[in-house]
Amino acid sequence: MRIFEMIMRCKHLDIQIFLSLRQLLMFLIFCFCSSSLLGQAQTKEDVVNVLVGMGFENVGCAEDDEERVYVLQNSAFRANGVGIAKAVDVIQESGLPTYKPCRIVVLDNNIPQLSLCYKPIVGDSVPKATREDWIISYELGKSWNKVRKEIKTKNSSLFKVDVLVYPGLSLKNLIITQIYQVLFRLSPAVEVSLWKGMKLTAQLRIPVYNDGYGSLNDKVSPGFLTVSQSFRLPYNVFGRVTVGGFNFDRYGIDVDLRHPFEDERFSVMARIGYTGVGYWDGFKYSFDSSKVWTWTLGASFYWPEYNTQFNLKAEQYIRGDRGVKFEMIRHFRYCSIGFYAQKGKDAKSNGGFTFQVLLPPYKYKRKGYIPRISTSPNMGLLYNAGNEQNYYLDYKAEASDNIMDQNSFNPYYIKSEMLNY
C-alpha cells in the first residue's frame, strides 16, 4: 500500500514539474513576442537613426493605412546607386512593415527624384525582401501627398557647406608643329543650399599649367557664380532655373526642363537660355549688355539592358546657328562614355566623344556643420573631332552639370546598380 502511495506521489510530482515547465515555456514565448512587438514599434525610429549614422541626410519616416514611407538623401556615397542600395539593405533588414507596402522616396537637394516600393506577398507573416523585390520609378505613390507633411526629417542638408575642388583639363590641336595645347586648372567651389531646391555656387579658377590658352587663363579668377532653384511639378516634370555667371564667358539665365513618360525609358527635354558675354581679367569683370537666345528641344530613349542612353536634339547655339545633335552614352558605375554627331544648317558636320569619371573618395561623411572639403564628384573631357571653333558653341549653367550627373537618378540605372553592387 505504501509502495502504491509513493508511486502516486511521484506521478503527481512529475505532473507538477511538467506543468511548471510548460508554464515557464509559455511565459518565455509571451516575453519574446512582447519584446518583438515592442521592437517592431521602435523599428522606424531605429532605422532612421541608423541611416543618419551612415551619413544620409533629410531622413525621416511616416505612414498611413496604405504604406510606410521613408525619405532620404544620399550624401554619403559618391555612386548614387551604391548609396541607395546601402539604404535599401538597412530598411529591408529591420524597417519593413508586416502587412503593407514600404516606399523609399529619394531626394536630391530636398526635391523628390524617384521612389522604390516593396510590396509584401499576401500571406507572409514575416516579409523577406531582397533588392530584386523593389520596384523603382519616378512615381511617388498615392500616400506621398498625405504623409509628406507629417514627416519630420533628421540631419538636414540645409546650410551645410561643401568645398569641392573641380579639376579641369582642356586640349586643342590647332598648330601643325605641336600635338596639343594644354590648359589645366584646379577650381575649388563653395556649394551650399539655403532652402529647399536652392543651391549657391561660388567658384575660383586657379591655373596650374597653361600652354597656348592666352594670358587671361594665367590669372586666378572667379569661375561659376550661380544661384539655382530646382523643382518638381505635377505629372513628373523636373526643372531648374539658374542665374549668374556660367562658363564659356557667359552670364544670364538658364531654364532646364525634363519629363519622363509613363514608359520611363522615353523622355523629352527642353532648355532655354538668355545670355550675354562676360569675362574676368583676374578679378576685374567686363561684360556686354547685348544678349542672345539659345535653346534645345530633344527626346531621349534609355536601353536598360546596356545602360545606354540615346538623345536626339534640335538646338540653337550662342552665335545663332542651328543644328541637330545625336548622342549615345553608356553609363557605368564609375564612368560614363559618350559619342556625339552634329550637323548645322550652315556648318560642316562635327562629332567627337566625351567621358566622365567618378573621383574618390567614394564614401564620405560630414561632421555637423563643419565645411566638407573634397574633390568634385567627377571630372571629364570632351573631344571635338572636327576642331570646330565657330559653330555649335554652348555653355554649362552649373559647375556640376555633366552626362554622369544627369543620369544619376535614372530608375533603370539605379536598379542595375542595386542588382550588381
Considering the domain architecture, whether residues 209 and 103 belong to the same structural domain is answered as no
In this prediction, residue 38 carries a pLDDT of 35
Question: Stretch 195-208: mean pLDDT, rounded?
Answer: 98
Considering the domain architecture, whether residues 56 and 166 belong to the same structural domain is answered as no
How far the first Cα of the chain sits from its last, in Å, is 78
Considering the domain architecture, whether residues 141 and 180 belong to the same structural domain is answered as no
What CATH number is attached to the domain comprising 86? 3.30.300
In this prediction, residue 384 carries a pLDDT of 86
19 located within any domain: no
Confidence of residue 123 (pLDDT cuts 50, 70, 90): low
64 located within any domain: yes
Confidence of residue 13 (pLDDT cuts 50, 70, 90): very low
Q: Out of 112, 147, 182, pick the residue that ends a domain.
A: 147
Considering the domain architecture, whether residues 178 and 115 belong to the same structural domain is answered as no
More confident residue, 385 or 18: 385
Considering the domain architecture, whether residues 271 and 411 belong to the same structural domain is answered as yes
Residue 112, pLDDT > 80, answer yes
Question: Stretch 208-232: mean pLDDT, rounded?
Answer: 96
Q: How far apart are CA 297 and CA 319, in angstroms?
A: 17
Domains in the chain: how many in total? 2
**Which segments of 253-402 does DSSP mark as H helices, in order?**
none
Residue 30, pLDDT > 50, answer no
CB atoms within 10 A of CB 177: 4
Q: How far apart are CA 303 and CA 266, in angstroms?
A: 10
Listed in sequence order, the residues at least 6 apart from 173 whose beta carbon sits closer than 8 Å to its beta carbon are 179, 180, 181, 387
25 located within any domain: no
Considering the domain architecture, whether residues 175 and 256 belong to the same structural domain is answered as yes
| Cα 61 from chain centroid (whole Å) | 20
Considering the domain architecture, whether residues 176 and 319 belong to the same structural domain is answered as yes
Q: How far apart are CA 59 and CA 87, in angstroms?
A: 11
Considering the domain architecture, whether residues 329 and 248 belong to the same structural domain is answered as yes
Tens of pLDDT, residues 302-326: 999 999 999 999 999 999 999 999 9
Q: Enumerate helices (H) and strands (E) in the chain, giving the number of each.
A: 5, 19
Considering the domain architecture, whether residues 62 and 169 belong to the same structural domain is answered as no
Residues of the chain with pLDDT > 70, as a percent, come to 88
Residue 250, pLDDT > 50, answer yes
153 located within any domain: no
Considering the domain architecture, whether residues 198 and 143 belong to the same structural domain is answered as no
In this prediction, residue 83 carries a pLDDT of 97
Considering the domain architecture, whether residues 403 and 284 belong to the same structural domain is answered as yes
229 located within any domain: yes
Domain, as residue range, for 123: 42-147
Q: How far apart are CA 122 and CA 103, in angstroms?
A: 17
8 Å CB contact between 264 and 412: yes
9 located within any domain: no
**Most confident listed range (14-28, 31-45, 88-102):** 88-102
Question: Stretch 129-147: mean pLDDT, rounded?
Answer: 94
Question: Stretch 380-386: mean pLDDT, rounded?
Answer: 87
More confident residue, 359 or 28: 359
Considering the domain architecture, whether residues 416 and 363 belong to the same structural domain is answered as yes
Residue 57, pLDDT > 90, answer yes
CB atoms within 10 A of CB 338: 21
